[in-house]
Amino acid sequence: MSSRTNLTREDWIHAAQEVLVTSGVDAVRVDTLAKELKITRGSFYYHFKSRGELLEGILGNWRARATEDVILHLRNAHSSPLQQLQRLLELPSHGQTAKDAASIELGIRGWARRDKQARQAIDEVDSHRLSYIEGLLIQAGVPSGDAQDRAYLIYAYQISLSLLHSEDTPQQRLERSQRMAGILIPESCTLPA
């Protein structure tokens, strides 16, 4: 992290996300964060007008990192729609990065159960992710109606992985994701080897 006197907006958001994960949204408070970061509240107000703006920052950062950046990375890999689907299914097996992302996702989903702003962010992200998966399936030759249902199954599978505690090794998780791809993606589509 940058020096304590030069905290960035992203440093505050990252710290707030950690508190969200460990203690819930009610614990995301300016005083608590300033104490945790060992800095005065003035640094916070240099970057944010209010706690509400910080909460918007958490949602925006999550949306960008967990959806936009992932989709952009998959698209920029210049791979086929099926290869993108396979990589998408493998994401939960990417070790600590995947665990951290799942923790933030669960924190935000918990927050969304009682907050309209967080619920709207979840709804937008879910819709965008489902559209992306459905589009990949359609590009791979899956009929539209079937693609929509399969996209929902693929997405539900991925979300459920963040809820399950597994003692599996990364290799076992990767192998499971490959088997699941065989189940969730129609045989009429050829999966990459």
Closest CA to 12 of 97, 46, 21, 64: 46
Q: What is the pLDDT along the chain (193 residues), one digit of tens a residue?
A: 444 458 899 999 999 999 999 999 999 999 999 998 999 888 899 999 999 999 999 999 999 999 999 999 999 988 899 999 989 988 887 778 888 999 999 999 999 999 999 999 999 999 999 999 999 999 999 999 899 999 999 999 989 887 777 788 878 888 888 888 888 887 777 555 4
Fold of 1-48: Arc Repressor Mutant, subunit A (1.10.10)
186, 150 Cβ separation under 8 angstroms: yes
- The model's pTM: 0.88
> Class assignment of domain 58-184?
mainly alpha
**Angle between helices 144-163 and 95-112 in degrees, nearest 10:** 100
3-state helix, strand, coil in the chain (%, to 5): 80, 0, 20
Contacting residues for 46 by C-beta, under 8 A, at least 6 apart: none
CATH 1.10.10 residue ranges of the chain are 1-48
Chain-centroid distance of CA 145 in Å reads 26
| CATH 1.10.357 segments of the chain | 58-184
